[in-house]
Structure 1
Amino acid sequence: MGLQTATAALNDVQTHYCASGSGPAVVFVHGLAEDHRSWRRQQAEFADHRTYAYDVRGHGASTLGDANGTLAQLRDDLLAFLDEVSGPAVCVGFSLGGTVVLSAAAHRPDLVTGVIVLGTSSVVGRAAAEINLQRAAETGDAVLASLRADTAMMVSNSTVDVDEVVARRAESIGDGRGYANAATAMAGLRGNPLTPELAAIKCPVAVIGGEHDVLCPRKAADILLEALPQATYQEIPDAGHLMNVDNPEAVTAALRSALAAGRGPLEPS
């Protein structure tokens, strides 16, 4: 089944998404300043799954709604998507999206049957929180300048056309209000870490990190692995934070492996 686009009224948002393939359901959640297109390669290759990739509120073609700058609201958007569009599914999230997925899995184990997170943190330090709040406050040309600087730091593959990536990310955030909302939500992990909630996750969890990720280094993965002792870890070689840009072949292979290994609930220790 080819790529299909649609819009669903979920909570207070018109949520745009793309669906493809047939088989077990997989829902992809993108990172900050991205949209559903960041998963286009995986949707094309995973034809043996029914895949969905939606635009987080205020990103891509999804509306912003009454955004309140919290992870809980973004989590509830994913839960509404699972409840009303895809049905229970394995959820794959990158960075911001990974945090959303982990929160959803902790709150509604009946809807999240498996978790795969890439470049994801359950807590942020003071410097990261301050940067996110600074990004949320920026307007006009400052947004594009910061997006360019941040993107360059997130990429380690010298063959990547950074200008092209920046242009795509800038298009995904539109007027910037959804970007500011999501950045505020991520900053909130400083005072309200997700880590204590991870113990409530009962489904299989795969953690994927980039070898050269300076924004979400191995320490962040180790925090997740300590809180989720039955989780697995894979590392994407030759990749920074934007690992699906730096090394998409390895990301696709890692996701395929995680999907194959992550069927069924975890057995008790």
Structure 2
Amino acid sequence: MAFASFPMSADFTHFNLPDTLSWAGLRAGHGAPLLFIHGSLCDARYWRAQVTEFAQHGRDAIAPSLRAYFPDKVLPALSWEQDVEDLMQLVGALPGKVDVVAHSRGGLLAAHLALRMPEKLGKLVLVEPAGRLEGEDSEALRLDKAFRDELAGQLRAGITEAAVAEFVDSVSRAGSWRYSPASFRRMALDNAHTLPSQLTTDLLPHYQSADLAALSLPILLIQGQRSPERFHQTVAALAAHLPNARVVQVDGASHAVNLAHPRRFNDIVRAFLDGTA
């Protein structure tokens, strides 16, 4: 499993938004804007292989680190609503329509971004988006809360790396943390401070079927073959309610599809954005 290498903070640039927020991230290339939104325990470095690739294919590739994340850590805790507002400012400052590629928690942010400013978005790629559909089984929610409480307890006790490892394994596969490259583990630990609020206060809203039905823009849902079943269930539920969506599965991949299979991932996304698939 070959993961892309990550840049150090010196490789980051900054975007100045209208509210004077200076936002760290990666940016390269020229052309139509393509926005990448990272998920939990990650930051702009998660998209390094995509920013480089798409910048070479005529896109202005933009991957911000959201407010609470490395390297700036503007906020001490997560706020999904603040993240959506920040993304709205960034998209609003870009010319023309913006295509978006988003992973996990970032996928939910992208869905809400599309609901709030559909006129500014072109196409949307959601890679195993986080969140659950309204009315999901209460037993699944109870088990999820028990898991979150367990990890929060570890973090309060200062058992940080073990909690991060358990979280990563839970969204991928058992042993994923152990076999991840040092660069990925470093990135996750750089963002470990975001985990307590994610587990306790910044709980993500459920997707509403009426909202999904209103999203008419072209949407590609990507899932890894070896990902936990709950991600497959979410992808299937979203595909059933979105009027203009299709699903692609990447064989041999788990949750971090773009890291483990960057060439295959980039080819799938490029074909969708270019209208050749």
Name the CA shift for 1:183/1:194 in 2 (closer, same or farther; >3 Å): farther
User: For each residue in 1:20-72, what CA deviation from the matched residue of structure 2 results, as whole angstroms up to 9, or x when unmatched?
Assistant: 111111000001000001111011111211110000121112433385x5432
The structural deviation recorded for 1:211 is: 0.4
Partner of 1:162 in structure 2? 180
Secondary structure at 2:51 match in 1? helix
Matching residue of 2:204 = 188
Residue of structure 2 in register with 1:19 after alignment: 27
Identical amino acids, percent of aligned pairs: 18
- What is the identity, as a one-letter code, of the residue corresponding to 2:75? G
Cα pair distance change 1:33/1:262, threshold 3 Å: farther
Compute the displacement of 1:223 (Å): 0.7
| 3-state SS of paired residue (1:101) | helix
Q: What TM-score results when the alignment is normalised by the length of structure 2?
A: 0.79
Distance 1:84 1:182 in 2: 28
| Structure 2 spans left out of the alignment, 5+ residues | 1-10, 134-139
Q: Secondary structure of the equivalent of 1:141?
A: coil
1:132: how far off? Answer: 4.2
For residue 124 of structure 2, the aligned residue among 94, 99, 115 is 115
TM-score by length of 1: 0.81
Whether 1:147 and 2:164 are equivalent positions in the alignment is yes
Call closer, same or farther: CA 1:4–1:62 in 2, change over 3 Å. closer
Residue 48 (structure 2) aligns with: 40
Q: Unpaired runs of 5+ in structure 1?
A: 264-269
Q: How big is the shift at 1:249?
A: 2.1
CA RMSD of aligned residues (A): 3.1
Instruction: List aligned pairs for 1:88-237, cutoff 5 A.
Output: 88-123=97-132, 125-126=140-141, 127-132=143-148, 135=151, 138-139=155-156, 141-153=158-170, 154-155=172-173, 161-162=179-180, 164=182, 165-171=184-190, 173=191, 176=193, 178-184=194-200, 187-189=203-205, 192-214=206-228, 216-237=230-251
Task: Provide the rounded CA distance (Å) in 2 between the counterparts of 1:77 and 1:133.
Answer: 29
- Partner residue, 1:267: none
Aligned residues between the structures: 255
Could you report, residue by residue, the CA deviation over 1:172-198 in whole angstroms, capped at 9, with x for unpaired residues?
A: x16x0x343445576333xx4354422
Out of 29, 32, 39, the position equivalent to 1:31 is: 39
Q: Structure 2 vs 1, CA of residues 151 and 38 (structure 1 numbering), >3 Å: closer, same or farther?
A: same
Alpha-carbon distance in 1 for matches of 2:95, 2:65: 14
**Structure 1 residue 12: Cα displacement:** 7.8
Amino acid at match of 1:74: D
